[in-house]
Amino acid sequence: MEDLNEIARALVAPGKGILAADESSGTIKKRFESIGLASTETNRRDYREMLFRTKGAAQYVSGVILYDETIKQKAADGTPLVKVLQDQGVMPGIKVDMGAKLLAGAAGELVTEGLDGLRERFAEYKKLGAVFSKWRAVITIGQGIPSFYCLEVNAHALGRYAALSQEAGIVPIVEPEVLMDGTHSIERCYEVTRLTLREVFRQLAIQRVSLEGMLLKPNMVLSGKEATDRAPADEVAFWTVRCFKETVPAAVPGVVFLSGGQSDEEATVNLDAINRYAATVGAPWQLSFSYGRGLQAAPQKAWSGKQENVAAAQRAYLHRAKVTSAARMGKYSRAMEKEAVAV
């Protein structure tokens, strides 16, 4: 378990966080459509290779979460993409869940699948170089939901996943995402996130998961995306830190937030506020990032699938990584949004 703890701590080393580049085929297709690009295997490879080869990104990014296709893919020059990362000291990780599906008997709620054959898949991913993994559960806030049934089955699956990951010597990133979709208040998000995390840590304890050898990937506590009066960053920081203090054991080395559909700037401002507030009240865990859209929206737009835009896209990615890293230390300022970076 010592190795797991070392890897977990290295993933959340000061100034560092994680790039989530593990979009499933369906999700990356949607992202590419928004920049007018077909989702072919080569396009997906070229795009991810461009991110992974960005010079200087390793200063801010400790690890990258890959998708099944990507962990087996080779760069244009034949180098495995895993090696491209390893050569820069960036740790490869792997998404192992098979997505959220309709939960039987629970209208509007989801449960994540992917446990069958998972031990064997872990053995394969370990050989391919994965040192950490991720499983995402999805919790929806709505009229009368989430049900406790939904929280329990999702937390149980997270526990089964995390135990198998640790058995394989791979650090699990346990991701229970309470979605920001809806008109709910920040207080309601706080209540639902608190209930969710309580159930998750109960299941992790029952299933003998080492808390020192894992990371938690939660949502920030936010107002619903469609709420009329959305809480500002200082309230997000207050409710988020309060929620974790009530639910996340101190043995967990780090919390790596998802961006979850916030704009990249909003995700950065909120992460900064959370770290500043945590420094004043004290918090036992590193509070870092594992952003997908929060790091990729800008480079995707800059790239638009064109070779001549590669340098601009790499600059956009490096810039987001730099400012998100600053926010993760509580040292971000809006003025940084205008600073140029060189790749």
Q: Which residues are catalytic?
A: 175, 217
CB of 134 to ligand 13P, least distance (A): 7
Q: CB 219 → ligand 13P: shortest distance, Å?
A: 8
Q: Which of 8, 12, 20, 221 binds ligand 13P (CB under 6 A)?
A: 20
322 binds ligand 13P (CB under 6 A): no
Q: Which is nearer to ligand 13P, 194 or 293 (CB)?
A: 293
Q: Answer yes or no whether residue 317 interacts with ligand 13P by CB under 6 A.
A: no
CB of 260 to ligand 13P, least distance (A): 4
Amino acid at 69: E
Q: Which of 44, 136, 156, 328 binds ligand 13P (CB under 6 A)?
A: 136
Residue 324 in contact with ligand 13P, rule: CB under 6 A: no
Binding residue (CB under 6 A) for ligand 13P from 44, 48, 293, 322:
293
Q: Does 330 bind ligand 13P (CB under 6 A)?
A: no
Q: Residue 167's CB: how many other CB atoms inside 10 A? A: 11
Instruction: Specify the residue, 20 or 186, whose C-beta has the smaller distance to ligand 13P.
Output: 20
Q: Can you tell me which of 112, 193, 247, 259 binds ligand 13P, judged by CB under 6 A?
A: 259
Q: Does 130 bind ligand 13P (CB under 6 A)?
A: no
Binding mask 28-67 for ligand 13P (x = CB under 6 A): ----------------------------------------
Q: How far apart (Å, rounded) are the C-alpha atoms in residues 214 and 216?
A: 7
Applying CB under 6 A, does 291 fall inside the site for ligand 13P?
yes
Cβ of residue 37: shortest distance to ligand 13P, in angstroms?
18
* 243 is a site residue for ligand 13P (CB under 6 A): no
For 183, phi then psi, to 5°, come to: -110, 10
* 172 is a contact residue toward ligand 13P (CB under 6 A): no
Give 146 or 260: the residue with its C-beta nearer to ligand 13P: 260
Q: Quick check: 258 binds ligand 13P (CB under 6 A)?
A: yes
Site residues (vs ligand 13P, CB under 6 A): 20, 136, 175, 258-260, 291-294
